[in-house]
A = this chain, B = another copy of it.
């Protein structure tokens, strides 16, 4: 067979050549804009030319600090197609972590949305590698900013070559993208995606038994493009000629409902928090979302009641899936087997509320304390994953060994697997809380609390939350001398300057002691139960 490399250049070129009339609908601060793939293709070539002229070379990292819109999409292809590495920066990280990851990735150029400039200005003095800031504005007017040197995206494109030819020396294992994910403690960890990984993952998204992304779809990724490549949807969509609807900054459930209705969206993707918001909107408003063939839901477990509400109240089919930044992300997807379609609705719902079965191309095993667990839907173990779109390491990070030591990715997620191979997440081995699709480190919160002079010990656990799936609650044992002298408001104040606002615990409980294992570790399972009861009482 020919040794033609599995690279991304062919994806954007296929959209340009075969689907020049198909559309990308992009919502920016100035409203809805529409582009054909012919235009997107040409603009992507112009961006590639501009970056090359700015000195971006093969292997260089180029960061983006941006919402879901057409310019971000152009960056998704222009950067990898000149052999550079697309580093999508999670804007929800603390300024400290944002500085860390930009420095750690050694980004040479940053593409920034105008409304995110203030965020970046907080970090700019710490940045060591950035040589240019490109502002992705509709205005062609450079804003007042301390960032320097700055360039206007549209001005660069206007001066660039619309027929720029992508270099042909890209190998399939060359890095194409990277994304940092929160750690149990300390700085975020970087995951590098290769051209090959993105190629294969995109194919997996197009399989009839998976998300079945097709030219006939109109796809709306609500999941941010700074979260695991918006689950790979932009890559697959462009490759297959699928129309895209990109919802831009600060959208509301109402806006998402309107976009689905007016653009006749067929498939959308996002975390449960988004869908809970949309559900409320649909229950209250009046929309025709009959174009939707599927709502892809991942990032956290979708509550069964929510799936049922969408399907039975609004006739919108749900598609539950699971993955993580380290896995590109698609790993399992909850499409029923043919013979399961004959079950009654409640039985089907029971299966579909699980995370799903393995997509072709990957391997999983579920490892309990005595080796691989039985496929009985009961025995629990840690989910371990292997395959060509699974990370093999954290970028230049000593924490690689913990997760990837034996050639498998150890996810830290505790799951069961049933007789039919459906995986269900039941717990997490790592001290992480997932709030609205974003990670919060319980360990970092604990360490901060324990640094307070009044605190003897502190443990932070997740409690279930209707809107955010999980929220942190802190359990604090005060030093005897401080008892009754320190209030939870004091500790809250103490935490505020140290964390993003949404990291702060919803509740601080004072306990007499924290339950521990025989070796003195926090017994978080017991603590969680205790906290759930406390919180429910209130």
Residues of chain A whose beta carbon lies under 8 Å from any beta carbon of chain B: 1-4, 6, 10-11, 14, 17-19, 21, 173, 192-194, 196-197, 199-200, 202-204, 206-209, 212-216, 239-241, 335, 337-339, 357-358, 360-361, 363, 386-392, 407, 409, 420-421
Given the complex, which residues of B lie within 8 Å of A363, measured CB to CB?
4, 10
Given the complex, which residues of B lie within 8 Å of A3, measured CB to CB?
173, 388, 392
Most chain-B Cβ atoms within 10 A of its Cβ — which of A203, A204, A357? A203
Q: Which of B209, B212, B392 interacts with A2 by CB under 8 Å?
A: B392
Given the complex, which residues of B lie within 8 Å of A240, measured CB to CB?
207, 209, 360
Q: List 25 A-B contacts (CB under 8 A).
A: A1-B192, A1-B194, A1-B388, A2-B386, A2-B387, A6-B361, A6-B388, A11-B360, A14-B358, A18-B358, A202-B360, A203-B203, A203-B207, A206-B207, A206-B209, A207-B240, A208-B214, A208-B216, A209-B214, A212-B212, A215-B335, A215-B337, A215-B338, A239-B360, A240-B360
A18 to B4, CA, bound (A): 32
A366 to B206, CA, bound (A): 27
Given the complex, which residues of B lie within 8 Å of A357, measured CB to CB?
18
Given the complex, which residues of B lie within 8 Å of A11, measured CB to CB?
360
Given the complex, which residues of B lie within 8 Å of A207, measured CB to CB?
203, 206-208, 214, 240
A338 to B18, CA, bound (A): 12
Taking the closest CB of chain B, its distance from the CB of A108, in whole angstroms, is 23
Given the known A-B contacts A215-B338, A337-B215, are A1 and B196 also in contact in the complex, defined by CB atoms under 8 Å?
A: yes
Do B213 and A208 touch (CB < 8 A)?
yes
Taking the closest CB of chain B, its distance from the CB of A450, in whole angstroms, is 37
User: From A218, which residue of chain B is reached at the shortest CB distance?
Assistant: B338
Given the complex, which residues of B lie within 8 Å of A4, measured CB to CB?
363, 386-388, 390
User: From A215, which residue of chain B is reached at the shortest CB distance?
Assistant: B209
Seed contacts A4-B386, A14-B360, A202-B360; 5 additional CB < 8 Å A-B pairs: A1-B194, A1-B388, A2-B392, A203-B360, A209-B216
Most chain-B Cβ atoms within 10 A of its Cβ — which of A2, A18, A209? A2
Most chain-B Cβ atoms within 10 A of its Cβ — which of A4, A173, A421? A4
Given the complex, which residues of B lie within 8 Å of A19, measured CB to CB?
337
Given the known A-B contacts A207-B203, A360-B206, A392-B1, are A421 and B387 also in contact in the complex, defined by CB atoms under 8 Å?
A: no
Do A18 and B421 touch (CB < 8 A)?
yes
Given the complex, which residues of B lie within 8 Å of A204, measured CB to CB?
203
A273 to B58, CA, bound (A): 52
A264 to B132, CA, bound (A): 62
Taking the closest CB of chain B, its distance from the CB of A352, in whole angstroms, is 15
Most chain-B Cβ atoms within 10 A of its Cβ — which of A206, A240, A407? A206
User: From A392, which residue of chain B is reached at the shortest CB distance?
Assistant: B2
User: From A360, which residue of chain B is reached at the shortest CB distance?
Assistant: B239
A389 to B339, CA, bound (A): 33
Taking the closest CB of chain B, its distance from the CB of A285, in whole angstroms, is 28
User: From A236, which residue of chain B is reached at the shortest CB distance?
Assistant: B360
Given the complex, which residues of B lie within 8 Å of A420, measured CB to CB?
18
A259 to B247, CA, bound (A): 49
Given the complex, which residues of B lie within 8 Å of A18, measured CB to CB?
357-358, 420-421
A348 to B207, CA, bound (A): 25
Taking the closest CB of chain B, its distance from the CB of A80, in whole angstroms, is 14
A92 to B241, CA, bound (A): 41
Q: Which of B194, B208, B213, B337 interacts with A206 by CB under 8 Å?
A: B208
Do A1 and B193 touch (CB < 8 A)?
yes
Do A390 and B1 touch (CB < 8 A)?
yes
A240 to B240, CA, bound (A): 21
